[in-house]
A and B are shown apart, each in its own frame.
Chain A
């Protein structure tokens, strides 16, 4: 099963994501902002990054951009968690190399269906 990095400044959001993914047998590492995530990513390999957009210290767009710069993460799927209003964020994410997006709010089933497109 996949090793997934979940990045969100909302603890409840991280919890929901982690709980859902762990239930499917994935390994989940949580990070509270982009900076923490980037530091973690430099130390180990992940099969998928799920990241929120608006976060303190480093936002999700910058994180995606930085990750694509790392050899280990050149082709790693990066999914942006965005609100439906944020069409421009989707484009912005794509521009810096994000793989796709999940529109918030989403339920566990939607999350699983979406990540199935990029892992496994």
Chain B
């Protein structure tokens, strides 16, 4: 658990609790939870040298503390501001990981607002307000330090404190021994000396304060900036981006033993992401391995002294082994499974923000949050989901006036639902808005030449059109959606995951978008097919139907293209043995089997020799073991040890199309 992960989790907690806060009600538990999260982020970031994050959090924390103590009411403005702060902190955290750049302008803006809020209506304790600007000052310090005679009795040691100071920067000390009594009167347990210290470097006030923290009421202490500080404390316009960063580096180098530095670097190199696994899942696996070991020892015992009379026991043992292996496989796969709530969690916030921006009233319903899916799939589906929900909010749900006029509840509903179906996870995004505008989509499609004038395709095909690149029917391009980038990307992302996306829409009643995804990318439900002597695997999700060739329905076009008439559709035939250059006895269509598949919105009929079993196969990457081959998505190893290639349907379709084009070009 790195600091960054821990902090991101803390931010998630802050966000979800903030969203439940009601203006005017000081919910002590909720405020406390938010405060604690902010507090540990501040502590952690200071420990790991992220001074900018610590400084930022400090201001928010001070405000929270005032609210917690009842000195400040919970206002809508404060809630909004805290939510913005959460965003800024996320931004800073991910910037600290490298890769992205912190949006400093935005951070400064929010920080300024926080400072303003802190300064406003202050009946708050002066100390914490005074602390805040002091915190951001970096520079050199002039310190006067005179311990009270009793200070040493608390075990605090001046030498150690000076050593700490010396690690912060360059320390010069002048001793004032004027109060030292004559030797005879001297009590060796008392402190008599005073010091004037000059500490040079880019050191924050907080760092100096920390060293004197334990003795501040046991000595005369004054800490003054030595020269004009780098940042002007009361000008929140320029809060010290550069010095803070510098400060952090120096802090690391000076204070840093090797161990100190290791942790932040480990965090920022965060390429190898980690996963949190529930202990029950780990226990399951250990349990299962235990059973596997028992079965194995039973079998080896049996093998030592085997005769035919024990064949029954052998069979039992083997079926036990099979069961163990399967259960173990399932348990191991479950490690990668996370509840979809990880992807859903961002939506309450998004809906809230967008409602404000769009001036709409929308209620978000979530269900099936505990439905689990593979972590990788979850990461890849996050952005497409955001896009779809945005669309629902922006285009789907009407304004309260329009809704009232249409006799609907003025509060719109967007419902996100997830459930398992077969080996798939189904995610539904449902809104009770106006529904897709068929006429407008159609006229836009005609305008773009996607549909012939006067033609009226069936509804589902019209809806499919919105997945075309650059297709937007929004009358006005808003900053939320309507630029027409996106739906095609959504579709592409879903297809890349081996999933499908469907739209059902009823005018005036709403739209439901259904995404069907495989639960995991590591295992695939496949249909084994035979071509010549080779066995291939087709993902089950791509297969629509299989049928015996009816010769009368085969149409040859000019060149070599063959089409099969299936009901009222013409589907291009792809002869797999030709594409993969395999010797096969069945080269004529008449004896063949056609398997109708769909990939990336296009259908094709694959000519195969035979359909074999359906089974789950473990996907091995072709790229990492060999090289990328067009038309193939990977390989797997079958029960008999043979290697079978897994067909990438959309790749195969585009491959055969380009071959056809080349063939036609050559012929012409």
Give the most central of A24, A110, A116: most B CB within 10 Å: A116
Chain A: CB-nearest residue to B32:
A85
The segment from A7-15, A29-37, A55-63, A68-76 that touches chain B is A68-76
- Which residues in B have their C-beta under 8 angstroms from that of A107? 43-44, 47
- Which residues in A have their C-beta under 8 angstroms from that of B164? 116-117
The verdict on A110 contacting B43 (CB below 8 Å), with A94-B217, A100-B214, A117-B164 known, is yes
Q: CB distance A109 to B263 under 8 Å?
A: yes
Q: CB distance B154 to A109 under 8 Å?
A: no
- Which residues in A have their C-beta under 8 angstroms from that of B263? 109
Q: CB distance A75 to B152 under 8 Å?
A: yes
- Which residues in A have their C-beta under 8 angstroms from that of B156? 77, 99-100, 118
- Which residues in A have their C-beta under 8 angstroms from that of B621? none
Q: CB distance A98 to B154 under 8 Å?
A: yes
**Distance between A120 CB and nearest chain B CB, rounded to angstroms:** 8
Q: CB distance A76 to B47 under 8 Å?
A: no
B567 at the A/B interface (Cβ < 8 Å)? Answer: no
B641 at the A/B interface (Cβ < 8 Å)? Answer: no
Contacting A at CB under 8 A, from B125-176, are 152-157, 160-161, 164
**Distance between A37 CB and nearest chain B CB, rounded to angstroms:** 16
- Which residues in B have their C-beta under 8 angstroms from that of A77? 155-157
Q: CB distance A99 to B260 under 8 Å?
A: no
The answer, among B39, B217, B260, for a CB contact under 8 Å with A84, is B39
Q: CB distance A68 to B214 under 8 Å?
A: no
0/1 per residue, B225-240, Cβ < 8 Å to A?
0000000000000000
Contacting B at CB under 8 A, from A88-116, are 94, 97-101, 103, 105-107, 109-110, 113, 116
A53 at the A/B interface (Cβ < 8 Å)? Answer: no
Chain A: CB-nearest residue to B44:
A107
0/1 per residue, B206-230, Cβ < 8 Å to A?
0000010110011000000000000
A78 at the A/B interface (Cβ < 8 Å)? Answer: yes
- Which residues in A have their C-beta under 8 angstroms from that of B587? none
Contacting A at CB under 8 A, from B35-86, are 39-40, 43-44, 47-48
Chain A: CB-nearest residue to B65:
A84
B585 at the A/B interface (Cβ < 8 Å)? Answer: no
Chain A: CB-nearest residue to B157:
A118
Chain B: CB-nearest residue to A96:
B154
0/1 per residue, A4-46, Cβ < 8 Å to B?
0000000000000000000010000000000000000000000
The verdict on A74 contacting B48 (CB below 8 Å), with A105-B40, A106-B43, A109-B263 known, is no
The verdict on A101 contacting B214 (CB below 8 Å), with A78-B155, A109-B263, A118-B155 known, is yes
Q: CB distance B189 to A74 under 8 Å?
A: yes
Q: CB distance A97 to B157 under 8 Å?
A: no
Give the most central of B39, B47, B153, B260: most A CB within 10 Å: B47
Give the most central of A68, A74, A99, A101: most B CB within 10 Å: A99
**Distance between B383 CB and nearest chain A CB, rounded to angstroms:** 33
Interface size on B, residues (CB 8 A): 24
Q: CB distance B153 to A100 under 8 Å?
A: no
**Distance between B172 CB and nearest chain A CB, rounded to angstroms:** 21
Compute how far the CA of A98 lies from the CA of B48 in the bound complex, rounded to whole angstroms.
27
The verdict on A74 contacting B47 (CB below 8 Å), with A101-B214, A105-B40 known, is no
- Which residues in B have their C-beta under 8 angstroms from that of A75? 152-153, 155, 157, 189
The answer, among A94, A97, A99, A109, for a CB contact under 8 Å with B48, is A109
Q: CB distance B39 to A97 under 8 Å?
A: no
Compute how far the CA of A108 lies from the CA of B600 in the bound complex, rounded to whole angstroms.
52
- Which residues in B have their C-beta under 8 angstroms from that of A68? 153
Compute how far the CA of A50 lies from the CA of B76 in the bound complex, rounded to whole angstroms.
43
**Distance between B164 CB and nearest chain A CB, rounded to angstroms:** 6
Q: CB distance A99 to B214 under 8 Å?
A: yes
Chain A: CB-nearest residue to B156:
A99
- Which residues in B have their C-beta under 8 angstroms from that of A110? 43, 47
**Distance between A72 CB and nearest chain B CB, rounded to angstroms:** 12
- Which residues in B have their C-beta under 8 angstroms from that of A98? 154-155
Compute how far the CA of A107 lies from the CA of B44 in the bound complex, rounded to whole angstroms.
8
Compute how far the CA of A116 lies from the CA of B47 in the bound complex, rounded to whole angstroms.
13
The answer, among B154, B213, B217, B259, for a CB contact under 8 Å with A97, is B154
**Distance between B115 CB and nearest chain A CB, rounded to angstroms:** 23
Q: CB distance B154 to A94 under 8 Å?
A: yes
Contacting A at CB under 8 A, from B480-498, are none
**Distance between A93 CB and nearest chain B CB, rounded to angstroms:** 9
- Which residues in A have their C-beta under 8 angstroms from that of B155? 75-78, 97-99, 118
- Which residues in B have their C-beta under 8 angstroms from that of A100? 154, 156, 213-214
Compute how far the CA of A107 lies from the CA of B1 in the bound complex, rounded to whole angstroms.
12
**Distance between B249 CB and nearest chain A CB, rounded to angstroms:** 18
Q: CB distance B153 to A74 under 8 Å?
A: yes
Chain A: CB-nearest residue to B68:
A85
- Which residues in A have their C-beta under 8 angstroms from that of B213? 100
Chain A: CB-nearest residue to B6:
A107
**Distance between A66 CB and nearest chain B CB, rounded to angstroms:** 14
**Distance between A7 CB and nearest chain B CB, rounded to angstroms:** 15
Q: CB distance A118 to B160 under 8 Å?
A: yes
Q: CB distance B160 to A99 under 8 Å?
A: no
Compute how far the CA of A8 lies from the CA of B8 in the bound complex, rounded to whole angstroms.
30
Give the most central of B39, B153, B154: most A CB within 10 Å: B154
- Which residues in B have their C-beta under 8 angstroms from that of A103? 43
Chain B: CB-nearest residue to A75:
B155
0/1 per residue, B259-274, Cβ < 8 Å to A?
1100100000000000
Compute how far the CA of A99 lies from the CA of B160 in the bound complex, rounded to whole angstroms.
13
- Which residues in B have their C-beta under 8 angstroms from that of A101? 214
- Which residues in A have their C-beta under 8 angstroms from that of B217? 94
- Which residues in A have their C-beta under 8 angstroms from that of B157? 75, 77, 118
**Distance between A113 CB and nearest chain B CB, rounded to angstroms:** 7
Q: CB distance A99 to B154 under 8 Å?
A: yes
Compute how far the CA of A75 lies from the CA of B48 in the bound complex, rounded to whole angstroms.
31
Compute how far the CA of A98 lies from the CA of B156 in the bound complex, rounded to whole angstroms.
9
Compute how far the CA of A80 lies from the CA of B194 in the bound complex, rounded to whole angstroms.
27
Chain A: CB-nearest residue to B155:
A99
**Distance between B538 CB and nearest chain A CB, rounded to angstroms:** 51
- Which residues in A have their C-beta under 8 angstroms from that of B160? 117-118
Chain A: CB-nearest residue to B164:
A117
**Distance between B489 CB and nearest chain A CB, rounded to angstroms:** 41
Known interface pairs A94-B154, A94-B218, A116-B164; 20 further A-B residue pairs with C-beta atoms within 8 A, sorted by A's residue number: A74-B189, A75-B153, A75-B155, A75-B157, A75-B189, A77-B155, A78-B155, A97-B154, A97-B155, A99-B154, A100-B154, A100-B156, A101-B214, A107-B47, A109-B48, A109-B263, A110-B47, A113-B47, A117-B164, A118-B157
Q: Which residues of B are in contact with A by a Cβ distance under 8 Å?
A: 39-40, 43-44, 47-48, 152-157, 160-161, 164, 189, 211, 213-214, 217-218, 259-260, 263
Q: List 22 A-B contacts (CB under 8 A).
A: A24-B259, A68-B153, A74-B153, A75-B153, A75-B189, A94-B154, A97-B153, A97-B155, A98-B154, A99-B154, A99-B155, A100-B213, A101-B214, A105-B40, A106-B43, A107-B44, A113-B47, A116-B164, A117-B160, A117-B164, A118-B155, A118-B160
Question: 5 smallest A-B Cβ distances: which pairs?
Answer: A100-B214, A99-B155, A77-B155, A109-B47, A99-B154
